Structure 1
Amino acid sequence: MTPMPENKSERIAALADQCVQCGLCLPACPTYALDGNEAESPRGRIAIAAALAKGLAPVTDELRTPLDHCLGCLNCERVCPAQVRFGELLVETRTLLGPAPGRPRMLLALAKRPALLRWTRLSGLRRWYAQLARWLPRRSRFRAALVLAASPTSSSLRPAHRETAPRAPALAHVALFPGCVGSVDDAAAQEAAVALLEAAGHPATRLPAFCCGALDAHGGDARAAEQGARRVQESWRGSGASVLVTVTPGCLGQLRHALPGVRVEDPCALLAAQADRLQFRPLPMRVALHLPCTQLNVARSDEALRVLLGRVPALEVVPLPPRCCGAAGSHLLEFPERAAALRAPTLDAIATLAPQALLSSNIGCRLHLAAGLAGQGIAVPTLHPLVLLAQQLIPGNPP
């Protein structure tokens, strides 16, 4: 592989030059499907990035907006015959441009502070969010944030079982990265991950909760993203673990960037490798499975998750069509109307299937979908797949 230049503009130009403009990415791009506009396609964004990096065009709202609209889903990377590293190009270009002027800084600052998020959950303010949201315009970012915060974050199923110690021969020591929003709204999934990993033979410990820098990296704030990466590195060095996991696939890319050479995985990958050590109680239930873009294109753990769910007797798993739900990190706050339009086909698919529960691994996707379902009056419990697996786990299985 040809080494990339050190200069940021030259690096962006070199990444862009790998694109052969074949157009095979267009059918895979959700924003191109939404707008039918070449500028809202990977090929169009690559051309814009190259022009900006080479100084062939000034930075204008017309050129910047398609870059800000990009979901970073990486569907284009999976189908690209030239193996263009579009995700890297997007982050580099946004860093070159800097944060968008209209970025909801206050809302994102709140999202990155687990202690403050936890306080808002425990203070009782949450019960007022839905009512407050009704008074705000539909385009309001604060309205979108309140609707998300009012979304249910736990299922009606019973709490996950937690084993007190590994019951199988010890494997690699695993550290769990809690993240920011996930550490509060996906606490049940993190408990479930630890229970399942220990049952499979992986000693597991938790790192402190903080933002890894993914929101900042994808928003063009290089300094804040680097600060998050340094905190990840410091926390990892003190963990004593050999593998890092997160239950939120949206954090994986940034964690891998912060810890080159360290194995960073979705817990499903480790659990599927030890699937024979795990036995589950039957669950006669029909569930819809939503696979987040980051699970498909970054973690690439979708098959591992299917293997694990397939071990639950009587469980009927119906995969939803693979399309981006529009959450995409901070996109659902920055562009709530676009996020809702991108979510609509997935909500329609859920309504048609009429499942008894909805499974999704990414907390942003799950809150976004839960808010949409609630808005349509559809009562479907939403939960992380690991929570369901831990609830059905039979403790003390022989290795």
Structure 2
Amino acid sequence: MPHMPLEQPPTRIAALADQCVQCGLCLPVCPTYALGRNEAESPRGRIAIAAALARGAADPTAELRAHLDHCLGCLSCQQACPAGVQYDELLIETRALLGPAPQRPQRLLSLLRRPTLLRALRRIGSALRATRWRRLLSARLPARSPWRVALQLLPDAPTAPLPQGDPAPTELALFPGCVASVEDAEAQQAALALLRAAGFQVQVLPAFCCGAMDLHDGDSAPAARAAERVRQAWQASGASRLLSVTPGCLGTLRRALPGVPVLDPWSLLAESAERLCFRPLPLRVALHLPCTQVNVARSEAAMLQLLRRVPGLDVVPLPRPPHCCGAAGSHLLEFPEQAAQLRDATLQPLAALAPARLLSSNIGCRLHLATGAGAASWITQHPLSLLAQQLENHP
């Protein structure tokens, strides 16, 4: 149903929208525009919608806000924009103005944001052999149910223990996150092993949500609380640089900690690559580069450099476009059909490449890709986990 017009439309959204020169160079890199060639599903169209909402020229109807909700926030448009439009800021502020979407699965996201509870449930599920019945249960749920999608995403393998950092305060601190601290703990342990081999010491911060999903879904209050918790944990650490193995967290962590170097491990490892020696691995692997790896972390060159130091490893990056696999935080839970279309397009080249493994550095992307048609025949893995497995003198 249509809502009442927005009161006191913020001038910042209008100012950000006015930076757009409507050139259309963003259209070829927008994954949602590619699906149906609908201008309202493009960055240019969404900027026009945001400007109209901010100026009170349009009412925030369900139909109008759906175009904003469909945006993946991949930021490929921002990288292509010759006018320097801050599309990430515009999207965040416009969604905050509108508030969370009605279809947002609040209870499920609340669970995902609590790593201690999530890890306990995973242990209980493993004891009850949940992998035997979760597919049957998910098949009984409605096709568009976010709980069905979540059950399908659940990995069969048990979770790894939380990573243990160096006991004394160090220059580097690792942020474990929420879902990543449970489902990507192996990659975080791998990062610690590689960094130590390269001569770094790393402390590990407590595991909690950085607020990325809330921030990008327009849920401002919990996003602000999460940002404050990040700042408190950072100040208590005494570190000078913050690391995350999950590129999907980097933008939100940087927003919470302006002026603090927030990065993923790849650049540090590449700078010390001569200290790392890897055992041969005669294998072909396909490398999926998440949008946040390319558009936020911008460390894909360092990643490729390190992977190609493994003797015999044939690394083949998946082609771009498509530019996004469709995971995009909570997007795959809210819009599973669109997410599946984008995922299938991303996986399409795999048949010709015939890799033994599929690598991806973002936990949401990796779980999403693993559920795709035909993806079950390939092992999915974080690139850091592969490197740590091949590291000389590493068990």
TM-score, normalized by length of structure 1?
A: 0.91
Residue 379 of structure 1: how far off its partner (Å): 1.5
Equivalent in the alignment of 1:200: 198
| Separation (CA, whole Å) in 1 of partners of 2:270 and 2:9 | 39
Residue 163 of structure 1: how far off its partner (Å): 11
Equivalent in the alignment of 1:332: 332
| Separation (CA, whole Å) in 2 of partners of 1:227 and 1:217 | 11
Is the contact made by 2:325 and 2:339 (CA closer than 8 Å) also made in structure 1?
yes
Code of the residue aligned with 1:384 in structure 2: it is H
| Separation (CA, whole Å) in 2 of partners of 1:86 and 1:99 | 19
Identity of aligned residues (%): 64
- Is 1:316 aligned to residue 314 of structure 2? yes
Equivalent in the alignment of 1:262: 260
Equivalent in the alignment of 1:132: 137
Is the contact made by 1:351 and 1:378 (CA closer than 8 Å) also made in structure 2?
no
- Is 1:381 aligned to residue 392 of structure 2? no
| Separation (CA, whole Å) in 1 of partners of 2:230 and 2:69 | 26
Is the contact made by 1:153 and 1:382 (CA closer than 8 Å) also made in structure 2?
no
Residue 151 of structure 1: how far off its partner (Å): 5.5
Residue 288 of structure 1: how far off its partner (Å): 0.3
Residue 351 of structure 1: how far off its partner (Å): 2.6
Structure 1 residues 272-351: aligned runs within 5 Å: 272-322=270-320, 323-351=323-351
SS of 1:238's equivalent in the other structure is helix
Is the contact made by 1:286 and 1:356 (CA closer than 8 Å) also made in structure 2?
yes
- Is 1:244 aligned to residue 242 of structure 2? yes
Structure 1 residues 88-99: aligned runs within 5 Å: 88-99=89-100
SS of 2:45's equivalent in the other structure is helix
Equivalent in the alignment of 1:143: 148
| Separation (CA, whole Å) in 2 of partners of 1:303 and 1:8 | 42
SS of 2:377's equivalent in the other structure is coil
Residue 15 of structure 1: how far off its partner (Å): 0.4
Structure 1 residues 61-140: aligned runs within 5 Å: 61-124=62-125, 126-127=130-131, 128-140=133-145
| Separation (CA, whole Å) in 2 of partners of 1:22 and 1:35 | 19
- Is 1:27 aligned to residue 28 of structure 2? yes
Code of the residue aligned with 2:290 in structure 1: it is P
Q: Deviations over 1:203-225 (max 9, x none)?
A: 10100000000010001011100
| Separation (CA, whole Å) in 1 of partners of 2:121 and 2:164 | 30
| Separation (CA, whole Å) in 1 of partners of 2:294 and 2:84 | 16
SS of 1:287's equivalent in the other structure is strand
Equivalent in the alignment of 1:169: none
Code of the residue aligned with 1:337 in structure 2: it is E
Structure-2 change in CA distance of 1:176 and 1:8 (3 Å)? farther
Is the contact made by 2:370 and 2:376 (CA closer than 8 Å) also made in structure 1?
no
Q: Deviations over 1:165-214 (max 9, x none)?
A: 8xxxxxx7210000000000001000001111111111101000000000
SS of 2:371's equivalent in the other structure is helix
Residue 242 of structure 1: how far off its partner (Å): 1.1
Stretches of structure 2 that go unaligned for 5 or more consecutive residues are 1-7
Equivalent in the alignment of 2:184: 186
SS of 2:242's equivalent in the other structure is strand
- Is 1:362 aligned to residue 358 of structure 2? no
Is the contact made by 1:8 and 1:92 (CA closer than 8 Å) also made in structure 2?
no
| Separation (CA, whole Å) in 1 of partners of 2:111 and 2:302 | 33
| Separation (CA, whole Å) in 2 of partners of 1:32 and 1:297 | 18
Is the contact made by 1:112 and 1:181 (CA closer than 8 Å) also made in structure 2?
yes
Residue 129 of structure 1: how far off its partner (Å): 1.6
Is the contact made by 2:178 and 2:209 (CA closer than 8 Å) also made in structure 1?
yes
Equivalent in the alignment of 2:4: none
| Separation (CA, whole Å) in 2 of partners of 1:217 and 1:137 | 28
| Separation (CA, whole Å) in 2 of partners of 1:392 and 1:8 | 55
Residue 392 of structure 1: how far off its partner (Å): 0.8
- Of structures 1 and 2, the one scoring higher in RCO (CA 8 A, sep 6+) is 1
Stretches of structure 1 that go unaligned for 5 or more consecutive residues are 1-6, 166-171
Structure-2 change in CA distance of 1:164 and 1:185 (3 Å)? closer
SS of 2:348's equivalent in the other structure is helix
Is the contact made by 1:130 and 1:150 (CA closer than 8 Å) also made in structure 2?
no
What is the root-mean-square deviation in Å for CA atoms of aligned residues? 2.0
SS of 1:286's equivalent in the other structure is strand
SS of 1:359's equivalent in the other structure is strand
Code of the residue aligned with 1:297 in structure 2: it is N
Residue 378 of structure 1: how far off its partner (Å): 3.4
- Which stretches of structure 1, 4 residues or more, deviate above 4 A after TM superposition? 150-154, 162-165
Q: Deviations over 1:78-135 (max 9, x none)?
A: 1100010101100010001111111110111111010111112111253222221111
* Paired residues, number: 378
Equivalent in the alignment of 2:5: none
